Structure formats: C-alpha cells, structure tokens
Homo-oligomer: A and B are copies of this chain.
Amino acid sequence: MAAQTVATTPTDSATPGAVDLGPAAALSCRECGERFPLGPIFACEACFGPLEVAYDLPVGDPEGLKKRIAEGPANIWRYAPLLPVPADVADHPNINPGFTKLVKADNLARELGVTGGLYVKDDSGNPTHSFKDRVVAIAVEAARAFGFTTLSCSSTGNLAGAVGAAAARAGFRSCVFIPHDLEQGKVVMAAVYGGELVGIEGNYDDVNRFCSELIGDPLGEGWGFVNVNLRPYYGEGSKTLAYEICEQLGWRLPDQIVIPIASGSQLTKIDKGLQELIKLGLVEDRPYRIFGAQAEGCSPVSTAFKAGQDVVRPQKPDTIAKSLAIGNPADGPYVLDIARRTGGAVEDVNDEQVVDAIKLLARTEGIFAETAGGVTVGVTKKLIEAGLLDPTLSTVVLNTGDGLKTLDAVAPTTGPTATIRPSLDAFRAAGLATD
C-alpha cells in the first residue's frame, strides 16, 4: 500500500523518549527532511512524503563493529546496531530470519558468460521462505515497542505467511486480509499459524482500500499494519540484504546487484544499506551499480527508465510474477534515481523468459526460485546480452522467494522425461540410459 495518508494510532509508549529502538533516533521525511519522534506514523505531516528511520550509527570503529557483528547470531540480529531494534532483540521471541546463503553460482556464470564472479543471494532459506520474513521481523519489534497487540496486513501470498508465522511466535494476535478467491495453497499457508484470516469479496485493490479504512477507524485501534503504519520500520528489514551480501563477500561491495522491483522499497533500502556500510567504514568506498528487474506484464519502472522519464505511470498488472505485481510502485521514482546515479539500469522480461530463467537457475545451481527469482535471473541474462551489465565484474542476483509457492508457473512445462513399465527392457527402449 502506498503511504498516502497520515495515520496515527497513539499508545502510551509512543510518546517521545519512551521508545527504545536502539540506534533509531527519529523518523525523517524523504522529501522535505522534516523529523518526527519515533512512532507508528508513515507520512510526513508537512508534505505527505514517506517517512524513514534516521539513525545515530556507531561510526568511528569499523573493526570493533565487524567483530561485534561476527560474534552475533546467524540471523539479522547480528546487525542490531544498524537496525531500529533494541540491543537485546536477539532475546525476544521472533522468527529470526536472515543470514541466508550467498551461493557462488559458477555453473550459472558459465552459462551466462559471467567471468567476474556471480552470486545468488538465496532468500528462500528464510523461515517462511521469502525475504518478507526480514521486514516483518523488524515490524514485530516496532509493534512491541509501540504497544500494539495485533499484527495485520493485506497480502496475496508471501507477506501473509510471514506475518502469520511471526505473530504466532512473538505472541501477537494476527488478522490478515486477503482476496477471497486466492488459490487454496496460499490460503492454507496464511491460515495454518492460527491467526485470524479474513477473505475480502473483491480484488487486491479492494482489500487495500478496506485496510486503509480500518486504520482510520476505532476498530483498528491497537493494530500494527506491518506495511502501513509500521512501514518505516518494516522497510528497514531490506537493508539486511545489503549487510549480509557485503559481509559474506568478506566486507566487500559487489560491483553489480540485480534486485526485483515490486513497490521498489527493497531496492532503495539495499542502496541505503550499502551507503551506511560505506559511511561506517565497513567496506571500501568505491562505485557499485544497482539494476532493477521487473516482469514485462508489470513494468512501470523499467518503462520509465527506458523512456528516460522521471514519472512512473501506473500499469494494470498481468504477469505470472504475482509477488512483483504492483502497478503503481510507491518507490518507483527513487528506483529510477538510484539506477541512473549508480550507472545501473531497469529491465523487464516476459513470462516465458521468467519460466526459462527459473529452470535455468534450478538446472545450474539446484535452486528452485519463485517467479520473482526468475525475473532477476532472466533480467540479468538480458542485461548481459544488451551490454548493460558487465560480465567481467562481480555480480549478485537476488532470489527473494521459493519455487514451492509458485508451482503453477513451471508446472505446465515440467514433468517426467518418460513414463515406463517397471522393466529393464522398457527402460532400454526409452533410450535414457546412455551417459
């Protein structure tokens, strides 16, 4: 949901000074710079711009900070000094996502002709198998700090599961809103954690509109909507992808990163994370390029990028990459800025290319990605062919979810090589036995 209105759900602990979110010092407007005390607000009272977390970061001792991080837990809380969470966060009940594998993808590199080192950051290893666990885990800590007792969101898939799981473990009530006609598998995943799950008679836009009404109504009092009134905190979870990639590369910036674009928040926060690491002296300050990846059937940002425009025109999504199907991405203009500033690009691939790329990644590296991973791998291939991504430089490609959740994308073209009677003669006749 875009941050279009100012919603405040005041609680006692939301008063200035009462909230301990570690190094988080304030919220600041990305547009006008106005600062606000930490609280469950998401839009600037002055200009309606989006708010983000401003920090007092632990500058001046990079080696000490690296050591502290290395001694931390094998999840995102190792970066607690750089996140809006209290110092003892690792002791709280939470689903503790992160520190997923950075896979050196030599087989894929050979197929794509990448010689500078190719890596897949595989977020299917998170607790509910998508990067959403990262952002929800941070939102949980903010919800706790602000005294909320219910976690909520609108979702069509990954986010519903992440909120359901995190709320269950962290001891929150949850109430998740979904379109009433979702596939059964997604409904089961959203419901199994035992929270309340409400089907809304309408499409995803109707669900979002309903949630916006609920936030402004007394009915929604005490509710933390992770991607609305907790959005400034929630978004910071994506920074951990930047931290992990650099730490796993031996505290080095990659030369190039390919990131999927839904709202665009993940891409902008990864850039923010990289800038913080430079500022803190954890990595050397040298150029990096950020590339955005969209599906052709929902490509408002790549369309604007390729047309050289600053305005992102909304589109009506029609793609199998449903987790990226946001037709009016809130952070689209920021994505354009970052891609242009860093010498990157934004590109899109069609559904057939998405499926081919899912299979390419599975066949070469044994990683079964959801459609969003097909988008990033497919775009990487296309960018190399177009000469926009330099194959002699080190490159990290994000896989943000799990193929088990989007089986429908590959099912029509993925099946047995042969079906035979249980006999050696039948096997011989099938002609599969030759190396």
Instruction: Judge whether A192 and B432 touch: CB under 8 Å.
Output: no
Question: Which one of B127, B364, B411, B417 lies within 8 Å of A188 (CB-CB)?
Answer: B411
Instruction: Judge whether A424 and B217 touch: CB under 8 Å.
Output: yes
Instruction: Judge whether A405 and B403 touch: CB under 8 Å.
Output: no
CA distance A420 to B168 in the complex (A): 24
A199 at the interface (CB under 8 A from B): yes
Find the B residue at minimum CB distance from A206. B422
Instruction: Judge whether B193 and A368 touch: CB under 8 Å.
Output: yes
A46 at the interface (CB under 8 A from B): no
Say yes or no: A365-B427 contact (C-beta < 8 A), given A187-B415, A192-B403, A418-B198.
no
A69 at the interface (CB under 8 A from B): no
A207 at the interface (CB under 8 A from B): yes
Instruction: Judge whether B198 and A165 touch: CB under 8 Å.
Output: no
A107 at the interface (CB under 8 A from B): yes
A285 at the interface (CB under 8 A from B): no
A59 at the interface (CB under 8 A from B): no
Which residues of the partner chain B approach A365 to less than 8 Å between Cβ atoms?
168-169
A191 at the interface (CB under 8 A from B): yes
Q: How many monomers of this protein are in the complex?
A: 2
Stretch at the interface among A95-103, A270-278, A290-298, A308-316: A95-103
Instruction: Judge whether A366 and B127 touch: CB under 8 Å.
Output: yes
Instruction: Judge whether A407 and B214 touch: CB under 8 Å.
Output: no
A9 at the interface (CB under 8 A from B): no
Instruction: Judge whether B107 and A198 touch: CB under 8 Å.
Output: no
Which residues of the partner chain B approach A417 to less than 8 Å between Cβ atoms?
191, 196-198
Instruction: Judge whether B419 and A95 touch: CB under 8 Å.
Output: no
Which residues of the partner chain B approach A432 to less than 8 Å between Cβ atoms?
175, 196, 198
Instruction: Judge whether B403 and A404 touch: CB under 8 Å.
Output: no
A173 at the interface (CB under 8 A from B): yes
Instruction: Judge whether B169 and A366 touch: CB under 8 Å.
Output: yes
CA distance A363 to B196 in the complex (A): 11
Which residues of the partner chain B approach A404 to less than 8 Å between Cβ atoms?
129, 185, 189, 402, 404-405
Say yes or no: A198-B424 contact (C-beta < 8 A), given A359-B192, A368-B189.
no
Nearest-CB distance from A109 to chain B (Å)? 12
Question: Which one of B106, B167, B213 lies within 8 Å of A424 (CB-CB)?
Answer: B213
A306 at the interface (CB under 8 A from B): no
List the 6 closest pairs (A to B, CB-CB), nearest first. A165-B366, A194-B363, A169-B366, A199-B419, A210-B422, A168-B366
22 pairs, CB–CB < 8 Å, chain A vs chain B: A93-B107, A101-B127, A165-B366, A168-B362, A173-B435, A175-B432, A188-B410, A191-B416, A192-B414, A196-B418, A198-B419, A198-B432, A199-B416, A200-B422, A201-B421, A202-B421, A202-B422, A213-B423, A213-B424, A214-B424, A219-B424, A222-B435
